[in-house]
């Protein structure tokens, strides 16, 4: 039945598809079911607490953003990055429903340099666009977005007044194969803060790169992610 409904939805204009998604996510947020089944989702409180600052890179519609917002509380801050306009629209609508106003949304792709890059959007077998697996590509693409490295954001850097500097305690990175470029673009932050990293995949190149900063990774059975912590 679910696939049948999705095939019907495919025939609707994008504007109506977006509205149906917005209503569905809004219902989930109200009911407390706006969650992901990834194992790390239930472990976030072991790494993050009240008042912490965290990054959600590749936030999509905001499942991790929502939970992190709850955990860090009114004195904390979640900075969520999402480059795809349609997905960002839903993310913004979802964040507007969160109880706490502690989320900053940034509509760009994170990479290792400032650039304009293409985004590829695959299809589900129903024919609908699969925005969950949208990713940066060097190929010709209809959608092109602004990219920037994390280290280029001045508000994340140390200020002259060390008491006002905000350390990043955790970064969740889910960017469909672009993880290494993201990490290379946050070298200064990694050196300064050594945040816990939840990184999609188990790339040997990512593990080798992070090893230079003193990180070691571990996989949780059944999870698509690798957790990296400094030893």
Per the structure, the complete domain to which residue 15 belongs is given by 2-230
Instruction: State residue 135's pLDDT score.
Output: 85
User: Token match 């607490």: residue?
Assistant: 49
User: What would the two tokens of residue 137 be?
Assistant: 């590509």
| Confidence check: pLDDT of 105 > 50 | yes
Give me the DSSP letters along 13-41.
-HHHHHHHHHHHHHHHHHHT------GGG
Give CA–CA dist 180/193, Å, rounded.
Answer: 18
Instruction: State residue 9's pLDDT score.
Output: 64
| Confidence check: pLDDT of 4 > 50 | no
Q: How confident is the model at residue 14 (pLDDT cuts 50, 70, 90)?
A: confident
Strand, helix or coil at 208? helix
Rg (CA), the chain: 18
Q: Are strands 109-110 and 143-148 parallel, antiparallel or unpaired?
A: parallel
| Residue 92 · residue 117 · CB < 8 Å | no
If you average pLDDT over every residue of the chain, what do you get? 90
Q: Could you tell me where the beta strands, DSSP code E, fall in 66-106?
A: 77-81, 103-106
**Mean pLDDT of the region 12-37:** 93
Distances (CA, A) of 160 to 87, 126, 153: 37, 54, 16
Burial degree of 139 (CB within 10 A; 0-12, 13-18, 19+): exposed
**Mean pLDDT of the region 90-112:** 97
Q: How confident is the model at residue 163 (pLDDT cuts 50, 70, 90)?
A: very low
Instruction: State residue 3's pLDDT score.
Output: 53
Instruction: State residue 7's pLDDT score.
Output: 58
| Confidence check: pLDDT of 165 > 70 | no
| Confidence check: pLDDT of 216 > 50 | yes
> pLDDT per residue over 36-85, tens digit each?
999 999 999 999 999 999 999 999 999 999 999 999 999 999 999 999 99
Domain count, the chain: 1
Instruction: State residue 50's pLDDT score.
Output: 97
| Confidence check: pLDDT of 95 > 60 | yes
Q: Phi/psi class of residue 26: alpha, beta or left (left: φ > 0; alpha: ψ in -120 to 50)? A: alpha
What's 155's domain CATH number? 3.40.50.150
| Confidence check: pLDDT of 207 > 80 | yes
Q: What is the number of H-type helices and E-type strands within the chain? A: 7, 11
Q: Which residue has the higher pLDDT, 187 or 158?
A: 187
Q: Could you tell me where the beta strands, DSSP code E, fall in 63-142?
A: 77-81, 103-106, 109-110, 115-120, 135-137
Q: How confident is the model at residue 98 (pLDDT cuts 50, 70, 90)?
A: very high
Burial degree of 205 (CB within 10 A; 0-12, 13-18, 19+): exposed
């Amino acid at each position: 039945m679910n696939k049948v409904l999705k095939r019907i939805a495919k025939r609707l204009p994008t504007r109506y598809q977006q509205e149906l998604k917005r209503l569905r996510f809004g219902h989930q947020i109200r009911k407390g079911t706006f969650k992901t089944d990834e194992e790390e989702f239930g472990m976030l409180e072991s790494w993050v607490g009240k008042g912490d600052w965290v990054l959600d890179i590749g936030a999509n519609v905001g499942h991790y953003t929502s939970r992190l917002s709850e955990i860090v509380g009114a004195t904390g801050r979640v900075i969520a990055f999402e480059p795809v306009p349609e997905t960002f629209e839903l993310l913004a609508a979802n964040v507007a429903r969160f109880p706490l106003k502690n989320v900053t949304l940034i509509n760009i792709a994170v990479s290792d340099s400032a650039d304009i890059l293409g985004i590829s959007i695959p299809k589900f077998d129903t024919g609908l666009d699969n925005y969950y697996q949208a990713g940066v590509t060097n190929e010709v693409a209809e959608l092109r977005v602004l990219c920037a490295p994390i280290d280029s954001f001045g508000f994340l850097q140390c200020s002259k007044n060390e008491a006002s500097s905000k350390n990043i305690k955790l970064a969740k990175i889910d960017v469909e194969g672009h993880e290494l470029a993201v990490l290379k673009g946050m070298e200064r932050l990694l050196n300064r803060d050594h945040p816990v990293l939840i990184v999609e995949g188990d790339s040997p190149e990512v593990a080798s790169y992070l090893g230079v900063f003193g990180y070691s990774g571990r996989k949780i059975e059944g999870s698509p992610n690798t957790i990296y912590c400094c030893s």
